Amino acid sequence: MTDARAPYVPPGTGWPDDPAAPDTPVAHGAGEVIELAAGAPDLAELCARQSVCRACDRLVEWREKVAVERRRAFANEEYWGRPIPGWGDPEPRILIVGLAPAAHGGNRTGRIFTGDRSGDWLFASLHRVGLASQATSVHAADGQRLIGARMAATVRCAPPDNKPTPLERTTCLPWLAREVEDVAGSVRCIVCLGGFAWQGVWPALKQAGYEVPRPRPKFGHAAEVELAPPPSAARRDPVLLLGCYHPSQQNTFTGRVTEDMLDAVFARARDYA
């Protein structure tokens, strides 16, 4: 393990569910993201490569600065400080897509939506509808498990102010596109958490071979679009894209998102899938 204020957890040093090893290839720029995403032999190696990426200078600097400085409440905790790879069932029926990890959530725990308020709401709902084994997701060794579901982000590193730049979104896109492609054989429903994830998933769907409508349908809570699957997918039945308001603190505090609203979307995803 690292010293008390290391900027990130070195790959393959015992962090729970660390998908990478010391020799996992590292992308240092947009071209290498494209190359390493396309060349990953399988989903596990894809996630390993996602988790060590250093392609975006601004985001690498930010995620590691946060990992060193830390929030006071977590001052004694080692921070992951690396990109957050896709996580969950390798052959999911439901894919849940978020925007980017939180600085003191995923960037601390190494697992998407784990250790922050949004994740508290999300996992509680997933548990109520039978898609998560536990109602909370606190740290990477807590035994939490998604049931027939998988989570991924459109941008894998925590951005300042939760706002990745357009260039950072484009640079990170090949990781998501390849992940979407790899799970297309089993996925029946894709849930987008928030308008940014909704916008970010379209180019990934297109790259993965889905037929994408033009103009793109508008985001809304419980918005639905049926998509024709990629020609390479064994199943020919449509895939449902579902919009869901993000369970951010702002949305949950103001009542824009309620437990019932989240449960309704995930129950719909479960029943469709």
Are 200 and 152 within 8 A, CB to CB?
no
Supply the minimum distance, in Å, between the C-beta of residue 154 and ligand SF4.
Answer: 9
Burial letters 15-52, b for 16+ CB under 10 A, else e: beebbbeeebbebeebebbbebbeebeebebbbbbbbb
Secondary structure (3-state) at 133: coil
Smaller CB separation from ligand SF4, 20 or 239: 20
Q: Which of residues 57-116 bind ligand SF4 (CB under 6 A)?
A: 59-60, 83
Long-range contacts of 212-220 (CB under 8 A, 24+ apart): 219/192, 219/194, 219/195, 219/243
Supply the minimum distance, in Å, between the C-beta of residue 106 and ligand SF4.
Answer: 12
Smaller CB separation from ligand SF4, 93 or 178: 178
Q: How far apart are CA 179 and CA 177, in angstroms?
A: 5
Q: Which of 89, 168, 181, 182 binds ligand SF4 (CB under 6 A)?
A: 168
Supply the minimum distance, in Å, between the C-beta of residue 273 and ligand SF4.
Answer: 27
Supply the minimum distance, in Å, between the C-beta of residue 55 and ligand SF4.
Answer: 4
Length of the chain counted residue by residue:
273
Q: How far apart are CA 169 and CA 154, in angstroms?
A: 7
Smaller CB separation from ligand SF4, 47 or 55: 55
Q: Which of 56, 97, 184, 189 binds ligand SF4 (CB under 6 A)?
A: 56
Q: How far apart are CA 243 and CA 247, in angstroms?
A: 12
Smaller CB separation from ligand SF4, 66 or 257: 66
Residue 96 phi/psi, 5-degree rounding, is: -105, 125
Supply the minimum distance, in Å, between the C-beta of residue 207 and ligand SF4.
Answer: 15
Q: Is 55 in the site for ligand SF4 (CB under 6 A)?
A: yes
Are 260 and 222 within 8 A, CB to CB?
no
Residue 70 Ramachandran class (φ > 0 left, ψ -120 to 50 alpha, else beta) = left
- Tokens 């992308």 appear where? 27
- Tokens 């035994």 appear where? 143
> Per-residue contact track with ligand SF4, 14 to 53, x per CB under 6 A?
-------------------x----------------x--x
Q: How far apart are CA 242 and CA 159, in angstroms?
A: 25
Supply the minimum distance, in Å, between the C-beta of residue 60 and ligand SF4.
Answer: 6
Supply the minimum distance, in Å, between the C-beta of residue 174 and ligand SF4.
Answer: 8
Q: For ligand SF4, how many residues bind (rule: CB under 6 A)?
A: 16
> Per-residue contact track with ligand SF4, 123 to 162, x per CB under 6 A?
--------------------------------xxx-----
- Contacting residues toward ligand SF4, per CB under 6 A: 33, 50, 53-56, 59-60, 83, 155-157, 168, 171-172, 175
